[in-house]
Amino acid sequence: MASLPVLWSFRRCPYAMRARLAIAASGQQVVLREILLRDKPAAFVAASPKATVPVLQLADGTVIDESRDIMMWALTQSDPDGWLAVWQRDKDAALRFLDQLDGPFKAHLDRYKYASRYDKSAAVMHRDSGAAFLASLNRTLSGQAALSGSTAGLLDFASLPFVRQFRIADPTWFDAQTWHHLHPWLSAFLTSTLFAGVMERYAPWDDSESPVFFPSGHSGLQQV
């Protein structure tokens, strides 16, 4: 166990979610440490002063504290489902997509879903700006099975947790949009065994308890 990487995670965080998705898809095993963002353990903050999830601590002491970098770490270890095919085919295009996703779209998502923290009067504007990005995804999906090409890959699983979060902000409004390709794409993810596996609930990490191994599901902690 000492040689296994340690993943600090928070179940509902979309960044942590996509890191867990890539780790699960790669078949790598890590020690999972679920935390509460309102009560961050000192060991977590010491590992990464940014104190944001996810954080991956490798056995050699290397710390990876960006979700995209954790995805790439996992998939470069093993990529049985070819998630990186889209990256290998056109790295520059993949980077442009990810930068737009993590930059402008995520900013609009935050200001829409958490409008009370920002400017309530601007919520609809941010919703509509985010929706324009989602409409572009729908157009892409109208011509191919997945954002990554003929099968789901890096671009899909990097973005699905955030599209899920956008829907959660107002499911009735979201489901009423005429995104005939985006809706089944998201639904297939939400009903998948992969999604179910990465969304298991665990008690917050306690160093006095047995470690939790992910994605095997074996642990000494009671799942809640």
CATH assignment of the domain containing 104: 1.20.1050
Non-local (6+) Cβ contacts of 176 within 8 A are none
Q: Rounded to an integer, what distance in angstroms lies between the CA atom of residue 58 and that of residue 3?
A: 8
Whether 102 shows a pLDDT value over 90: the answer reads yes
Instruction: Say what the pLDDT of residue 221 is.
Output: 32
Residue 16 and residue 40 in one domain:
yes
Give pTM, 2 decimals.
Answer: 0.94
Which structure tokens are listed for 109?
A: 């998502």
90 and 187 co-located in one domain: yes
Pair 130, 53 in one domain: no
**Residue 60 falls within a domain, yes or no?**
yes
User: Which structural domain range is residue 187 located in?
Assistant: 85-191
Higher pLDDT, 224 or 100: 100
pLDDT, one tens digit per residue, over 7-23 is 999 999 999 999 999 99
- Specify whether 33 is located in the same domain as 100: no
CATH number for the domain that contains residue 73: 3.40.30.10
Residue 34 shares a structural domain with residue 57 = yes
Query: How many domains does the chain divide into?
Result: 2
Residues 67 and 135 occupy one common structural domain: no
Do 92 and 75 reside in the same domain of the chain?
no
Same-domain check for residues 172 and 118: yes
**Residue 116: pLDDT band by 50, 70, 90 thresholds?**
confident
Segment 27-79, tens digit of pLDDT? 999 999 999 999 999 999 999 999 999 999 999 999 999 999 999 999 999 99
What band does 2 get if pLDDT is binned at 50, 70 and 90?
low
Look at residue 115 and tell me whether its pLDDT is greater than 90: no
CB 175 within 8 A of CB 181: no
